[in-house]
Homo-oligomer: A and B are copies of this chain.
Amino acid sequence: MVPHARGVTIDLAQVPDGRPTENSAAGPVPLRLIMKHASPPPPTAAELKVACASCNLRELCLPVGIAEADMPRLDAMIAQRRSVRRGELLFRNGDPFDAVYAVRTGFFKTRVSSHDGRDQVTGFQMAGELLGLDGISTERHSCDAVALEDSQVCVIPFEQLESLSREFAELQRHFHKIMSREIVRDHGVMLLLGSMRAEERLAAFLLNLTQRLEARGFSGTALVLRMTREEIGTYLGLKLETVSRCFSKFQEDGILQVRQRQISVLDPQALRRLVSAAAA
């Protein structure tokens, strides 16, 4: 377990390489505390719990709409945290399913693979978002979840979640909304993959990303991508060269400033014009 986690009620950004925490270039960073530590936390340990009741993410995460009085029961359920280092898998296709995970800090991608090796990134998950819903149907996970940076998740044992959902209608309702939202999101991605051209896809992707960062208190105009061009491409159904060319094009057009993975959105309105679609 990590030495600094005991009793702490704020999120701790993982900054293993000493660079300033990303996505904080402008504005306050209410959800994170920049903190250096010599080495990343051990990857496998069950960690000390941090109460949902005092978590900064509770307005974005599972506890939305849960009455204060019911919080202790929720906290009792989410007794375990897990650290996943950059590049490692939280779960993989075929793993037995027994819990869903809430991202606490860090960043993930999920991907599915075809038999012949091609794969498709199905989503990127950031703090407050749930992972593992795919596993419910067959009681085995049907995709891989890969940490794109050193990350921590709250482990939510599914049996207990269902049991608690039978007691608290608000929790039940909210969990259903989360699953439904995932379905709606997927439909948006299908629209993107089925009918948009390369520039539109990238614009939709960037808009979605900035919206989610803004909801977490980060700047909506200055962001640091946590994923490679190839991962973006695999999500958007494009090759990495095409993604790169689109970034360059957007820079020429004055829509973005691109320096490696550091992106400044100069003209958000132009991105919106490009999209004009509801890719959630």
Residue numbers of A with Cβ under 8 A of B are 112-116, 118-120, 122, 133-138, 142-143, 162-163, 165-167, 169, 172-173, 176-184, 186-191, 193-196, 234-237, 276-278
CB nearest neighbor in B for A136 = B180
On whether the beta carbons of A120 and B190 are closer than 8 Å, the reply is yes
CA distance A188 to B115 in the complex (A): 12
Given contacts A237-B194, A277-B114, contact A162 B166 (CB under 8 A): no
On whether the beta carbons of B195 and A114 are closer than 8 Å, the reply is yes
In the assembled complex, 24 residue pairs joining A and B whose CB atoms fall closer than 8 Å, in A order, are A114-B276, A114-B277, A116-B276, A116-B277, A118-B196, A120-B191, A133-B180, A134-B180, A134-B183, A136-B176, A136-B180, A137-B177, A137-B180, A137-B183, A138-B184, A142-B184, A166-B167, A179-B180, A186-B186, A186-B190, A189-B190, A193-B193, A194-B235, A194-B237
| Chain B residues, Cβ within 8 Å of A135 | 180
CA distance A169 to B136 in the complex (A): 14
| Chain B residues, Cβ within 8 Å of A137 | 177-178, 180-181, 183-184
| Chain B residues, Cβ within 8 Å of A234 | 194
Majority secondary structure of chain A interface residues (helix, strand, loop or mixed): helix
CB nearest neighbor in B for A176 = B136
CA distance A179 to B133 in the complex (A): 9
CA distance A27 to B122 in the complex (A): 39
Task: Quickly give the copy total for this chain.
Answer: 2
Given contacts A133-B183, A162-B172, A180-B135, contact A114 B191 (CB under 8 A): yes
The 10 closest A-B pairs by CB, nearest first: A114-B277, A136-B180, A194-B237, A186-B186, A193-B193, A137-B180, A137-B181, A120-B191, A115-B276, A118-B195
Given contacts A135-B180, A237-B193, contact A187 B278 (CB under 8 A): no
On whether the beta carbons of A186 and B183 are closer than 8 Å, the reply is yes
| Chain B residues, Cβ within 8 Å of A142 | 184, 187
Query: A179-B183, A193-B194 known; 4 other A-B pairs, CB under 8 Å?
Result: A115-B277, A134-B180, A142-B187, A186-B190
> Which of these, B122, B162, B276, contacts A190 with CB under 8 Å?
B122
| Chain B residues, Cβ within 8 Å of A193 | 190, 193-194, 237
| Chain B residues, Cβ within 8 Å of A113 | 278
> Which of these, B138, B143, B179, B189, contacts A179 with CB under 8 Å?
B179
On whether the beta carbons of B114 and A278 are closer than 8 Å, the reply is yes
CB nearest neighbor in B for A118 = B195
On whether the beta carbons of A195 and B136 are closer than 8 Å, the reply is no
> Which of these, B112, B166, B169, contacts A191 with CB under 8 Å?
B112
CB nearest neighbor in B for A163 = B169
CA distance A80 to B5 in the complex (A): 54
